[in-house]
Amino acid sequence: MDWERDGLVPEDVFQRFASANMLIPSLPAPLPVQWLKQLGINDILGTVRVEEWDYIHTAIYTDEGPAASLTTGVSYAIPPILKFGSKQLQERFLPDLLLGRKRICIAITEPEAGSDVAGIQTTATKTPDGKHYIVTGTKKWITNGIWSSYATMAVRTSGPGPSGLSLLLVPLLNHPGVSTRQIKVAGHLTSGTTFISLDEVKVPVENLIGEEGHGMKYIMTNFNHERLTIAIGVTRQARVALAAAFEYCLQREAFGKTLMEQPVVRHRLAKAGALLESQGAWIEQFVYQMTKLGKVEADVELGGLTALAKAQAGIVLDECARCAVLLFGGSGFTTTGRGEIAERVYRDVPGARIPGGSEDVMLDLAVRQLVKIYQGKGKELERPKGSSKL
């Protein structure tokens, strides 16, 4: 809570996690075994070999492990480099990034383009000699950006719409033309939320991740991991808030008896608890499915549902955090003392319902994806004309 009040996680905490290779587990499973072994990383804390790490381990790590202030760059900004970056690009950057010697952020969102990724306006124009991109624009609400040496950045390399987007590895820290400033937000105070200005920033063409015009596809393949891990972490936050309120209600007395002896209090806890346990079971089901499905199949079958699970996690957190604040009463409205955990979690609710895809966008995406799957499966079941019913 001291870090929360200071709005900063001490730098040595990041370094301790990095030196123990405990940022690596935030990558999507399966882990990049070849790269890790090349860097001398054969296991996680001497207990799980890197080739055996799966999404069940990822879920435990996300549920119990470090906050987004430490993991966001590794979790969301490194995977596109691993999946789509050239060998030369990987060899230049991955050793420092995987070992935590340098930090990186994912820079998609802009002041005028949040969940509408296709509306990105930051441009990357090639120089006449074809050796560099000149990047101009702004990025906003970028987690960890203030501390990052690099950004995996969505840029517009050609015309409008999704086909004009590309991913570029852009230098940030002390790089000419780049300025960053921390943004004050209501919750997630230790995440280093950043506004990035890019004024004719020169970036080598070798920093292109994958191919020009494929940026939207690369971004979409990144979202499922992001949304699932957000859902896991948010579900844990909801459990923390509700557990704190439950304990408090066993101790706090009002009107001659404990709050827990009041039927209305038990009713409120029961409603929030039912939502929480259902969400927890759903998340565990997702995680199990991720261990059984290949990446391509999971993206198709679970993409829409992952968006739905992320949206539902925010809804459940809102209910559980609000329940906790109300049951703590005045203490739940205070930033110190017995109810500070409820107050702190409740401030984080918008940070669960907006980043990673705003809630309404996620709900709509989920249904559109499910309609597409339903129609596809229906066509597979149709009998050819003239075929027998038997």
**Which residues participate in catalysis according to the annotation?**
226
Task: Check: CB of residue 268 under 8 Å from CB of residue 326.
Answer: yes
What is the distance of C-alpha 230 from the center of its chain?
5
Task: Check: CB of residue 347 under 8 Å from CB of residue 221.
Answer: no
Counts of helices then strands in the chain (DSSP H, E): 13, 12
340, containing H or E segment: helix 340-347
Local structure of 55: helix, strand or coil: helix
Rounded CA separation 52/30 (Å): 8
Pairing mode of beta strands 123-126, 132-142: antiparallel
Rounded CA separation 148/144 (Å): 6
Task: Check: CB of residue 82 under 8 Å from CB of residue 33.
Answer: no
Which of 311, 317, 315, 298 lies closest to 355 in space, CA to CA? 311
